[in-house]
Structure 1
Amino acid sequence: MPSYCAFFRGINVGGNNQLPMKELTAILESLGCTQVKTYIQSGNAAFDSKSRSRTKLATEITAAIEQAKGFAPLVVLLEQHQLKTIVAANPFPEAEDDHKSLHFFFLTDKAKKPDLAALETLKAADESFQLKDDVFYLHAPSGIGRSKLAAKVDRHLGVATTARNWRTVSTMLELASA
């Protein structure tokens, strides 16, 4: 049975799209997911599912949340082995000691015509980034909150993303492996 990690965009942010993790757990279990574990309130869940189609399962999760809560969040669903590969491919291992400076932007689809040159002009002197497959890695030592580049990632990649810092990504991998 595949183990999955779900990363939701825009849940419990700024008082909008409220979804307590107990309710998220119940929704996932109603879809046949087992061993559900959540991490922090921003929408991260690890679970097992008999479903072999990530796309179908992500669509079912979004529809179930919309039915229960009235909003349809974007969800990026990764199998455990995919997340493990993404973590291993981190181009900024020196940043792993500062979990707040290293961010993973999970793309909902392949970036067909990413404008990396535009992102290059937006980055601060201490920022570095790299696009690898379906992940945009950002090392922002001064913080993501002030990063002009971070605010424009979706626009210049041409695809929706949801971002997580190093601590969240590594914790989610641990939860999926447990």
Structure 2
Amino acid sequence: MATYIGFLRAINLGAKRKFPKAAIAKAVEAAGFTEVETYINTGNVRFDTTLRSRAKIEAALEKAFEAEAGFAVPTIVFTQKELSAIADEAASYGHGGKHYVSLLKDVPTAAAVKALEETSTADEVARVGGRAVHLLLGENYHEARLTNAAIEKQLGIATNRNLTVIRALAEKWC
């Protein structure tokens, strides 16, 4: 058995995409995974499985989530080691402002990473490490150009969490 952490994209936004923690856990168990736990109501789930293929795990979860919620739920899965590395990498930036992490479904190309990182400014910095984009934002973070939507336009499907959540999950589940 291996433990994975899944991040659900675009749930609990507006009236039509509600997907409570209990329903998420039910769907994960229905997909055949065990030792299921959720953390806050933003689509974070820990589970064990005998599957080893990330693509197969994500596909099984997405099928179960759509069956339970009634809408597509893109899902991004990491191993415990990968999540720990993302949390650890954040410390290397020493950023005192707002720090968000966009978690990517697929590894971006070197050209796409270079293009994204070149859009950085003094107040908005993007640093890509594997399937994680660290968004280091200044005081006007609520007006930032570097958002998860911008990341998705350049690098594909992503979901965003603030660094506090990433660190809490790494501490709790890794």
Question: Shared fold by TM > 0.5?
Answer: yes
Structure 1 residues 29, 115: CA separation in 2 closer, same or farther (over 3 Å shift)? closer
Distance 2:58 2:44 in 1: 13
Contact 1:2 1:48 in 2 (8 A): yes
SS at match of 1:114: helix
Query: Which of 160, 166, 173 lines up with 1:163 in the alignment?
Result: 160
Alignment RMSD, CA only? 2.1
Q: What's the CA shift for 1:139?
A: 0.8
Q: What's the CA shift for 1:71?
A: 1.0
* Residues 29-178 of structure 1 mapped to structure 2, 5 A cutoff: 29-90=29-90, 92-95=92-95, 101-112=98-109, 113-114=111-112, 116-117=114-115, 120-121=118-119, 123-142=120-139, 144-150=141-147, 151-157=149-155, 159-177=156-174
Distance 1:50 1:43 in 2: 22
Offset from partner CA, 1:119-170 (integer Å, 9 cap, x none): 644x45322221122111111132543211224121123x121111111111
Offset from partner CA, 1:11-65 (integer Å, 9 cap, x none): 1112232111001111111223222221121111112222222211110110011
Percent identity between matched residues is 27
Q: Which runs of 5+ in 2 are unaligned?
A: none
TM-score (norm 2): 0.87
Distance 1:115 1:176 in 2: 29
Letter in 1 for 2:4: Y
Equivalenced residue count is 172
TM-score (norm 1): 0.85
